[in-house]
A and B are shown apart, each in its own frame.
Chain A
Amino acid sequence: MNVVLEGIGLVKRFGPAVALGGVGLAVRGGEAVAIMGPSGSGKSTLLHCLAGIMKPDEGEVRLLDRRIDTMGERERSALRRTRFGFVFQFGQLLPELPADENVALPLMLGDVSRADAVRRAREWFAPLGLAGMEERRPGELSGGQAQRVAIARALVTRPAVIFADEPTGALDQATGQETMRLLVEATKHNGASLVVVTHDPEVARWCDRVVEVRDGRVLPDPRGTAPAVATVPAAPAAAGPGGWDRETGAGR
């Protein structure tokens, strides 16, 4: 697979503290990469730089051969909206909006008509096990359900890369595992790449590859490429939510 997203020689300082000391990372199409490391190791900063949320002080970030670290805020904003999806630990759903409108929001921001956006958003509910919850507000969903809505929202624009920062951090182990499985399967099924920041090896096990970050540097991987537990074949990017079932994890 070709490289979709690449960070080269990334350096980021916060005052005297060096958060990233020359980090390189390449993510291939359809690949799930876990970035692991203890608190303060620089893993979240790396994710923020790769996702165009932060500008690195040095180095470059490329998405399909386009440099994104030199783009202006407006352009990076548009890029995050159209080419990237995000799943966080908590709080990414708007409490005022019902679940379906939360998922439809990125589409509406991209000028899709409201009716169309909501229709397309609702297609994600059944495959993610959320049927019947379209009109519930985030406060009326369990933690796992809310994360699944967030996954739907991240995927609804059919992005190239999904970034997830401790996506299971607020969930119990069983729910966390189930959420990770859905995240990895749904991402891969849609042909997107996944970058997960976590300190939990159980979460990392779902990914194809693990990158260890310590003190702002990537550790050399003693095992080469980490074995991935989840082996979901990447599907063509055209496959819609209706062609994939969460129970079997396979296209019908």
Chain B
Amino acid sequence: MFKLKHHQYGYLFVAPFIIGFLVFGLYPVVNTIVLSFTDRTLMSSSYSFTGLRNFQLLFADKTFITAIKNTWQLWLMNFIPQMGIAFLLSIWFTNNRLKLRGVGVWRMIFYMPNLMMASAVAALFFSLFSFYGPVNQFLVRAGFLPEAIDFLRKPAVARGLVVFIQWWMWFGQTTILLMAAMTAISPSLYEAALVDGAGTIQMFLRITLPLIKPVLVYVLVTSLVGGMQMFDIPYLLTDGRGSPSNSILTNTINMYMKFHSSKGHIGAASAVGLVVFLMTSIVALLIFFLLREKHDQPAKAKR
């Protein structure tokens, strides 16, 4: 072996990560891209390159378009209320004037749903809302409904449940992140603003919001990535095929269905993966661009 010079040890130390990334990160991505141009199935050893055929089929396929629409809808519908509640809670919890007690306890309670297994949560809601389940029993016996409703066969109910579960599982996490960002802001800024006669809203818009922007970008992007890959709850809540009426069919369920069909069409599944990857990347970059730190740019004379 050759002898390493002092300043080259760094390469040795980062090697494990780089190797891990290349094998488990880059290789699968490259392989997915290659696969998406083939008609490869798992049940046959031969395959050929088919160019853009997988993508042509995808965009001609109503189910794929439905899945993309659903994924965006389900994500936006849970992300917007999630941010709203998280903002409200973190402002209350970090407010120096309110001085709420038991913040730690509340924070823990709100975070709790996130610790539960998605499969357990889905199974819970599934049995609660099934045709012979307790929700129907309660509503009929209390006289709210004339007869039982098959809730999970109603697209609006299924969608609402997915949105609610996603919101309920993740708002605690977002609250904690926002709180961490808000507590890091020096109180002297608020004191100064107060002295200058700023109101609560003004302080929020002019001090809090700009200073937590990096965390906001982080929350947005991670939630976007997670949302575009939403799988477990909608997969487990009904039949694993996005029923009723494809209302909770997400991109990843669609991809899994292609992979899992009797032949295992990994070529076609990779094409879905690639489109979702491109879509997520573009939107994530857009978020970075829109929320970029303005003062990083070539300075313009401000005054």
Genuine A/B complex: no
